[in-house]
Amino acid sequence: MTIFKRPSLKFASKRKREMPEGLWTKCPECGEMIHHLALEQNLRVCSPCGYHFSFSARDRVANLVDEGSFVETQASLESIDVLKFKGVAAYEERLRSYQKKTGEKDAVVTGNATIEGRPFGLAVMDFQFLGGSMASVVGEKITSIIEASTQAEQPVVIVAASGGARMYEGVFSLMQMAKTSGALARHAAAKLPFVSVLTNPTMGGVTASFATLGDVILAEPKSMIGFAGPRVIREIAHQELPPGFQTAEFLLEHGLIDAIVHRAQLRPRLAMIFDHLVFH
Ligand SMILES: [Zn+2]
Protein backbone atom coordinates (compact mmCIF):
# COMPACT_ATOMS: atom_id res chain seq x y z
CA MET A 1 0.00 0.00 0.00
CA THR A 2 1.34 3.39 -0.92
CA ILE A 3 1.17 5.90 1.91
CA PHE A 4 2.70 8.83 0.08
CA LYS A 5 2.00 9.62 -3.50
CA ARG A 6 5.10 10.09 -5.62
CA PRO A 7 5.56 13.82 -6.28
CA SER A 8 5.06 14.96 -9.81
CA LEU A 9 8.35 15.56 -11.62
CA LYS A 10 6.82 18.18 -13.89
CA PHE A 11 7.80 21.08 -11.62
CA ALA A 12 11.34 19.81 -11.16
CA SER A 13 12.00 19.52 -14.87
CA LYS A 14 10.55 22.99 -15.47
CA ARG A 15 12.83 24.45 -12.79
CA LYS A 16 15.79 22.74 -14.33
CA ARG A 17 15.08 24.37 -17.68
CA GLU A 18 14.89 27.77 -15.98
CA MET A 19 18.37 27.38 -14.48
CA PRO A 20 20.84 27.09 -17.35
CA GLU A 21 24.06 25.36 -16.50
CA GLY A 22 27.08 27.47 -15.63
CA LEU A 23 25.11 30.32 -14.05
CA TRP A 24 25.56 29.08 -10.50
CA THR A 25 28.74 28.09 -8.69
CA LYS A 26 28.88 26.19 -5.42
CA CYS A 27 31.31 27.60 -2.87
CA PRO A 28 33.70 24.77 -1.89
CA GLU A 29 34.15 26.31 1.56
CA CYS A 30 30.57 27.00 2.78
CA GLY A 31 28.41 25.29 0.14
CA GLU A 32 26.55 28.50 -0.79
CA MET A 33 25.17 28.61 -4.34
CA ILE A 34 26.39 31.87 -5.90
CA HIS A 35 25.09 33.38 -9.13
CA HIS A 36 27.93 34.12 -11.54
CA LEU A 37 26.98 37.82 -11.77
CA ALA A 38 27.14 38.19 -7.98
CA LEU A 39 30.47 36.37 -8.00
CA GLU A 40 31.93 38.65 -10.71
CA GLN A 41 30.66 41.78 -8.95
CA ASN A 42 32.32 40.66 -5.72
CA LEU A 43 35.75 40.07 -7.40
CA ARG A 44 35.03 36.31 -7.36
CA VAL A 45 34.93 36.19 -3.56
CA CYS A 46 32.12 34.32 -1.75
CA SER A 47 30.22 36.94 0.32
CA PRO A 48 29.11 34.71 3.23
CA CYS A 49 32.48 33.06 3.94
CA GLY A 50 35.14 35.09 2.07
CA TYR A 51 36.41 32.15 -0.03
CA HIS A 52 38.55 33.50 -2.89
CA PHE A 53 37.80 31.78 -6.21
CA SER A 54 40.51 31.80 -8.90
CA PHE A 55 40.82 35.12 -10.71
CA SER A 56 41.97 35.43 -14.34
CA ALA A 57 45.14 37.40 -15.03
CA ARG A 58 43.17 40.03 -16.99
CA ASP A 59 40.63 40.51 -14.18
CA ARG A 60 43.47 40.82 -11.69
CA VAL A 61 45.24 43.47 -13.76
CA ALA A 62 41.98 45.43 -14.16
CA ASN A 63 41.35 45.19 -10.41
CA LEU A 64 44.85 46.32 -9.39
CA VAL A 65 46.06 49.11 -11.65
CA ASP A 66 44.92 52.63 -12.51
CA GLU A 67 42.39 52.44 -15.34
CA GLY A 68 44.05 52.63 -18.75
CA SER A 69 47.58 52.61 -17.28
CA PHE A 70 48.52 49.02 -18.15
CA VAL A 71 50.91 48.67 -21.09
CA GLU A 72 51.42 44.99 -21.77
CA THR A 73 54.88 43.61 -22.58
CA GLN A 74 55.77 40.55 -24.68
CA ALA A 75 52.11 39.82 -25.36
CA SER A 76 52.83 37.66 -28.39
CA LEU A 77 55.45 35.37 -26.81
CA GLU A 78 54.42 31.71 -27.26
CA SER A 79 55.83 28.40 -26.07
CA ILE A 80 57.27 25.86 -28.48
CA ASP A 81 57.47 22.10 -28.00
CA VAL A 82 61.23 22.01 -27.65
CA LEU A 83 61.38 18.46 -26.20
CA LYS A 84 58.85 17.03 -28.72
CA PHE A 85 56.93 15.79 -25.70
CA LYS A 86 55.11 12.49 -26.19
CA GLY A 87 52.35 11.84 -23.71
CA VAL A 88 48.59 11.48 -23.34
CA ALA A 89 48.24 14.67 -25.35
CA ALA A 90 50.86 16.41 -27.44
CA TYR A 91 52.17 19.62 -25.86
CA GLU A 92 51.39 21.71 -28.95
CA GLU A 93 47.79 20.49 -28.87
CA ARG A 94 47.41 21.33 -25.20
CA LEU A 95 48.88 24.80 -25.74
CA ARG A 96 46.43 25.53 -28.56
CA SER A 97 43.45 24.30 -26.54
CA TYR A 98 44.39 26.42 -23.47
CA GLN A 99 45.04 29.45 -25.68
CA LYS A 100 41.53 29.05 -27.05
CA LYS A 101 39.99 28.47 -23.62
CA THR A 102 41.67 31.41 -21.84
CA GLY A 103 42.39 33.87 -24.66
CA GLU A 104 45.99 34.06 -23.36
CA LYS A 105 49.18 32.98 -25.16
CA ASP A 106 50.64 31.47 -21.97
CA ALA A 107 50.27 31.38 -18.18
CA VAL A 108 51.47 34.89 -17.33
CA VAL A 109 50.55 38.46 -18.29
CA THR A 110 53.21 41.14 -17.79
CA GLY A 111 53.41 44.89 -18.24
CA ASN A 112 54.02 48.34 -16.81
CA ALA A 113 51.30 50.21 -14.98
CA THR A 114 50.56 52.62 -12.15
CA ILE A 115 48.72 52.33 -8.84
CA GLU A 116 47.45 55.73 -7.68
CA GLY A 117 49.97 57.29 -10.06
CA ARG A 118 52.96 55.25 -8.82
CA PRO A 119 54.71 53.37 -11.65
CA PHE A 120 55.64 49.70 -11.25
CA GLY A 121 56.24 46.48 -13.20
CA LEU A 122 53.59 43.77 -12.91
CA ALA A 123 53.43 40.04 -13.67
CA VAL A 124 50.22 38.11 -13.05
CA MET A 125 50.00 34.35 -13.45
CA ASP A 126 46.82 32.72 -14.76
CA PHE A 127 45.95 29.41 -13.11
CA GLN A 128 43.40 28.66 -15.84
CA PHE A 129 46.24 28.27 -18.37
CA LEU A 130 47.73 24.78 -17.82
CA GLY A 131 47.49 25.21 -14.03
CA GLY A 132 49.64 28.36 -14.10
CA SER A 133 52.62 26.09 -14.76
CA MET A 134 56.04 27.68 -15.11
CA ALA A 135 57.60 27.18 -18.51
CA SER A 136 60.17 29.00 -20.68
CA VAL A 137 57.75 31.72 -21.77
CA VAL A 138 56.49 32.30 -18.21
CA GLY A 139 60.07 32.53 -16.89
CA GLU A 140 61.21 34.75 -19.77
CA LYS A 141 58.29 37.20 -19.38
CA ILE A 142 58.71 37.40 -15.60
CA THR A 143 62.49 37.87 -15.91
CA SER A 144 62.03 40.59 -18.55
CA ILE A 145 59.56 42.62 -16.48
CA ILE A 146 61.89 42.36 -13.45
CA GLU A 147 64.86 43.54 -15.57
CA ALA A 148 62.83 46.36 -17.13
CA SER A 149 61.74 47.44 -13.63
CA THR A 150 65.35 47.43 -12.41
CA GLN A 151 66.26 49.58 -15.40
CA ALA A 152 63.32 51.95 -14.79
CA GLU A 153 64.10 52.06 -11.04
CA GLN A 154 60.58 51.03 -10.13
CA PRO A 155 59.16 48.32 -7.86
CA VAL A 156 57.95 45.04 -9.27
CA VAL A 157 54.90 43.03 -8.19
CA ILE A 158 54.34 39.38 -9.11
CA VAL A 159 50.98 37.75 -8.44
CA ALA A 160 51.58 33.99 -8.32
CA ALA A 161 49.06 31.22 -9.04
CA SER A 162 50.71 27.99 -10.05
CA GLY A 163 50.75 24.23 -9.68
CA GLY A 164 54.54 24.31 -10.25
CA ALA A 165 56.88 23.51 -13.12
CA ARG A 166 55.49 22.51 -16.54
CA MET A 167 56.44 18.89 -17.14
CA TYR A 168 56.23 19.27 -20.92
CA GLU A 169 59.34 21.45 -20.86
CA GLY A 170 61.43 19.41 -18.40
CA VAL A 171 64.69 21.08 -17.45
CA PHE A 172 63.84 24.19 -19.53
CA SER A 173 61.02 24.75 -17.07
CA LEU A 174 63.23 24.14 -14.02
CA MET A 175 65.92 26.59 -15.17
CA GLN A 176 63.33 29.40 -14.98
CA MET A 177 63.63 29.13 -11.19
CA ALA A 178 67.28 30.21 -11.33
CA LYS A 179 66.65 32.76 -14.08
CA THR A 180 63.82 34.60 -12.28
CA SER A 181 65.68 34.44 -8.94
CA GLY A 182 68.84 35.86 -10.54
CA ALA A 183 66.89 38.81 -11.98
CA LEU A 184 65.35 39.45 -8.54
CA ALA A 185 68.79 39.37 -6.90
CA ARG A 186 69.98 42.10 -9.31
CA HIS A 187 66.77 44.07 -8.63
CA ALA A 188 67.47 43.81 -4.88
CA ALA A 189 71.12 44.82 -5.39
CA ALA A 190 69.81 48.02 -7.01
CA LYS A 191 67.86 48.58 -3.75
CA LEU A 192 64.50 48.29 -5.49
CA PRO A 193 61.55 46.49 -3.90
CA PHE A 194 59.75 43.35 -4.99
CA VAL A 195 56.30 42.57 -3.60
CA SER A 196 55.16 38.97 -4.00
CA VAL A 197 51.44 38.17 -3.87
CA LEU A 198 50.59 34.50 -3.36
CA THR A 199 47.17 33.27 -4.42
CA ASN A 200 45.45 29.90 -4.39
CA PRO A 201 47.36 27.72 -5.17
CA THR A 202 51.08 28.61 -5.22
CA MET A 203 53.10 25.38 -5.35
CA GLY A 204 56.25 23.68 -6.58
CA GLY A 205 58.98 25.52 -8.48
CA VAL A 206 57.15 28.86 -8.22
CA THR A 207 57.11 28.69 -4.40
CA ALA A 208 60.71 27.48 -4.48
CA SER A 209 61.88 30.47 -6.54
CA PHE A 210 60.56 34.00 -7.08
CA ALA A 211 57.28 33.73 -5.14
CA THR A 212 59.00 33.46 -1.75
CA LEU A 213 61.75 36.01 -2.46
CA GLY A 214 59.59 39.11 -1.91
CA ASP A 215 60.76 41.97 0.30
CA VAL A 216 57.11 41.90 1.28
CA ILE A 217 55.10 38.70 0.82
CA LEU A 218 51.32 38.96 0.82
CA ALA A 219 48.77 36.18 0.36
CA GLU A 220 45.06 35.90 -0.31
CA PRO A 221 43.01 34.29 2.49
CA LYS A 222 43.03 30.50 2.72
CA SER A 223 45.41 30.09 -0.25
CA MET A 224 47.25 26.78 -0.46
CA ILE A 225 50.97 27.58 -0.53
CA GLY A 226 53.72 24.99 -0.49
CA PHE A 227 56.24 22.97 -2.45
CA ALA A 228 54.97 19.38 -2.61
CA GLY A 229 51.31 18.69 -1.82
CA PRO A 230 50.19 17.35 1.60
CA ARG A 231 49.68 13.79 0.31
CA VAL A 232 53.28 13.54 -0.92
CA ILE A 233 54.67 15.00 2.31
CA ARG A 234 52.54 12.63 4.42
CA GLU A 235 53.92 9.68 2.46
CA ILE A 236 57.54 10.80 2.73
CA ALA A 237 57.46 11.99 6.36
CA HIS A 238 55.23 9.11 7.57
CA GLN A 239 53.39 11.42 9.93
CA GLU A 240 50.16 13.34 10.20
CA LEU A 241 50.34 16.99 9.22
CA PRO A 242 49.13 19.75 11.58
CA PRO A 243 45.68 21.24 10.91
CA GLY A 244 45.69 24.07 8.38
CA PHE A 245 49.10 22.95 7.04
CA GLN A 246 50.13 24.86 3.87
CA THR A 247 47.38 27.48 4.17
CA ALA A 248 48.20 31.20 4.07
CA GLU A 249 46.99 31.46 7.69
CA PHE A 250 49.41 28.72 8.82
CA LEU A 251 52.31 30.40 6.99
CA LEU A 252 51.49 33.78 8.54
CA GLU A 253 51.42 32.24 12.01
CA HIS A 254 54.86 30.70 11.35
CA GLY A 255 56.41 33.90 9.98
CA LEU A 256 56.81 32.82 6.35
CA ILE A 257 54.59 35.55 4.91
CA ASP A 258 53.96 39.14 6.03
CA ALA A 259 50.20 39.62 5.69
CA ILE A 260 46.97 38.12 4.43
CA VAL A 261 45.09 40.61 2.29
CA HIS A 262 41.51 40.36 1.01
CA ARG A 263 41.38 40.74 -2.78
CA ALA A 264 39.45 44.02 -2.52
CA GLN A 265 42.16 45.47 -0.27
CA LEU A 266 45.16 44.49 -2.39
CA ARG A 267 45.32 47.68 -4.45
CA PRO A 268 45.35 50.13 -1.47
CA ARG A 269 47.78 47.83 0.36
CA LEU A 270 50.23 47.87 -2.56
CA ALA A 271 49.94 51.67 -2.81
CA MET A 272 50.78 51.89 0.91
CA ILE A 273 53.78 49.54 0.54
CA PHE A 274 55.09 51.56 -2.43
CA ASP A 275 54.77 54.70 -0.29
CA HIS A 276 56.84 53.16 2.49
CA LEU A 277 59.48 51.54 0.30
CA VAL A 278 59.92 53.85 -2.67
CA PHE A 279 58.13 57.16 -2.84
CA HIS A 280 58.75 59.79 -0.19
ZN1 LIG B 1 31.53 30.44 0.76
CATH number of the domain enclosing 72: 3.90.226.10
| Residue 27 resides in a domain | no
Backbone phi, psi, residue 132, to 5°: 60, 25
pLDDT tens for the 280 residues of the chain, in order: 456 665 554 444 444 445 556 799 999 999 999 999 999 999 999 999 999 999 999 999 999 999 999 999 999 999 999 888 877 678 999 999 999 999 999 999 999 999 999 999 999 999 999 999 999 999 999 999 999 999 999 999 999 999 999 999 999 999 999 999 999 999 999 999 999 999 999 999 999 999 999 999 999 999 999 999 888 898 898 988 888 899 999 999 999 999 999 999 999 999 999 999 975 4
Distance 48 CA to ligand 1 centre (A): 6
Distance 223 CA to ligand 1 centre (A): 14
| Residue 21 resides in a domain | no
| Residue 6 resides in a domain | no
Q: What is the DSSP letter of 2?
A: -
Q: Which domain holds residue 113?
A: 55-277
Number of domains in the chain: 1
What's the confidence (pLDDT) of residue 124? 98
* 49-58: b (≥16 Cβ within 10 Å) or e: ebbbbebbbe
| Residue 8 resides in a domain | no
What's the confidence (pLDDT) of residue 264? 96
Distance 26 CA to ligand 1 centre (A): 8
Taking the C-alpha atoms of residue 11 and residue 46, their distance in angstroms, rounded to an integer, is: 29
Is 210 in contact with 142 (CB distance < 8 Å)?
A: yes
Give the burial class of 277: count Cβ atoms within 10 A of its Cβ; 0-12 exposed, 13-18 middle, 19 or more buried: middle
| Residue 78 resides in a domain | yes
| Residue 222 resides in a domain | yes
| Residue 242 resides in a domain | yes
| Residue 23 resides in a domain | no
Distance 198 CA to ligand 1 centre (A): 20
Distance 35 CA to ligand 1 centre (A): 12
What's the confidence (pLDDT) of residue 86? 77
Taking the C-alpha atoms of residue 4 and residue 186, their distance in angstroms, rounded to an integer, is: 76
Taking the C-alpha atoms of residue 256 and residue 266, their distance in angstroms, rounded to an integer, is: 19
Distance 259 CA to ligand 1 centre (A): 21
Distance 30 CA to ligand 1 centre (A): 4
Distance 200 CA to ligand 1 centre (A): 15
What's the confidence (pLDDT) of residue 18? 53
Is 119 in contact with 154 (CB distance < 8 Å)?
A: yes
